[in-house]
Structure 1
Amino acid sequence: MQGVIKAYDPSTGAGLVMCDTDFNDYELAGNALAGSIFRMLRQGQRVIFELDDAGRATKLSLGSEVDMKTPGH
């Protein structure tokens, strides 16, 4: 899945990502940044993510324009 960071609190690690396809907001899992190049996130940042068993966003990564199917790429 792909989306945009809607909110992120670096002190707690809490945040929301809005999915591009269903426009739902997904809470970030506590381990969302584990194994990622990200150390923190900023509002509006585009990410690729998966959902864990509890329906929270996890395994955040940065995709290329091709990965994200950005128009014109």
Structure 2
Amino acid sequence: MEQGVVKSYDPVTGVGVVVLDSDRSEVFLRPGSLDGSIFRMLRQGQRLLVDTVEEDGVRYVTTVKVGQDEY
């Protein structure tokens, strides 16, 4: 898992952007990215732990967790 910060998030569409701490790259949240997590919405500046996958040259968030206990 990588750490990052929410740059933007639209709770209506479920789409957003997370900036990774490791290399400041942007990864994208798709509708359904929060499924299976404790989150229903995110706020700008919120710190997260994320798993990502690359598809067609674009990185997407697959799993979202927060904190030491990885909820």
TM-score interval (norm. to shorter): 0.7 to 0.9
Match of 1:61 in 2: 65
Q: How far 1:57 moved relative to its partner?
A: 1.2
Aligned residues of 2:7 and 2:19 also touching (Cα < 8 A): yes
2 CA distance for matches of 1:19 and 1:10? 20
Higher Cα radius of gyration: 1
Match of 1:42 in 2: 43
Are 1:16 and 2:12 an aligned pair?
Answer: no
The alignment's TM-score, normalised by the length of structure 1, stands at 0.81
Task: Give the aligned CA root-mean-square deviation in angstroms.
Answer: 1.7
Q: Which AA in structure 1 matches 2:49?
A: I
Aligned residues of 2:13 and 2:31 also touching (Cα < 8 A): no
Runs of 4 or more, structure 1, over 6 Å off, are: none
Q: Which structure has greater strand proportion?
A: 2
Q: Which stretches in structure 2 are left out of the alignment for 5+ residues?
A: none
The percent identity for this pair of structures is 44
Query: What per-residue deviation string (whole Å, max 9, x for no partner) do you get for residues 10-36 of structure 1?
Result: 000110000000100111132210100
Number of equivalences: 66
